Amino acid sequence: MFSTYPMTTGFELVIFDCDGVLVDSEPIANRVFASMLAELGLEVSEADIYRDFVGRSLAYCVGQVEARLGRPLQEDFVERLQRRTFAAFEAEGLRPIDGIVEALDAIDIPFCVASSGEIEKMRVTLGLTGLLPRFEGRLFSATQVARGKPAPDVYLFAAERMGVMPQSCVVVEDSPVGARAGLAAGMTVLGYCARTSSESLQVAGVHRTFADMRELPELLRAIGRR
């Protein structure tokens, strides 16, 4: 059971990444992406995708694929990728990250989302998992800023829009790329390592790793009181 007393944390805002932190979308999205790349003659493993693409903006991923292929992608590639990914989310029953609902219920300071994904994608994934009402009006995307992760732009943008100084924010990330973005913004970064190796997040410099989202509220209390 979670306690109902105030968190008494020094943080004023929790900024969540979306994919892999709020919604368990990465395994599904990565399979679709790998399948479409194979159709183009580019074979990539799941490990390749996690290493080279997870946490990055779609524009960055497209650029990397084009560089590997040595040719531009078809104009409708992104549209087809998005359509097939969304269809897979529905067909496979996209779910929230285990324990995130309980964690959100126990966090009594403001929170928002700052993702490399587009606003439309967040609305789809958070909507399918029932989380959208908790974040309505507090969705921030790397498409709204000049640079994607690992640059700090989207996290600084989210903090500014929420009216909170960066040093009072804590970021919850599951990718080394995203973790570096939060750290570059001057924020405390917690690394969620249920699917990502704890070691890779530690190398990125996160302040703490954790593997069960239900641990997050108490972790915020412990770190915020320091």
CB-based contacts of 154, cutoff 8 Å, min separation 6: 114, 115, 116, 140, 141, 142, 144, 145, 148, 181
Catalogue the active-site residues: 17
Sequence-ordered alpha helix ranges (H) in 77-215:
77-92, 100-106, 119-128, 132-135, 153-162, 176-184, 198-204
Torsion of CA 154, 134, 126, 158, to 10 degrees: 0
Burial per residue of 47-61, b for 16 or more beta-carbon CB atoms within 10 angstroms, e otherwise: eebbebbbbbbbebb
Phi and psi (nearest 5°) for 115? -125, 155
Lookup: tokens for 79: 């549209």
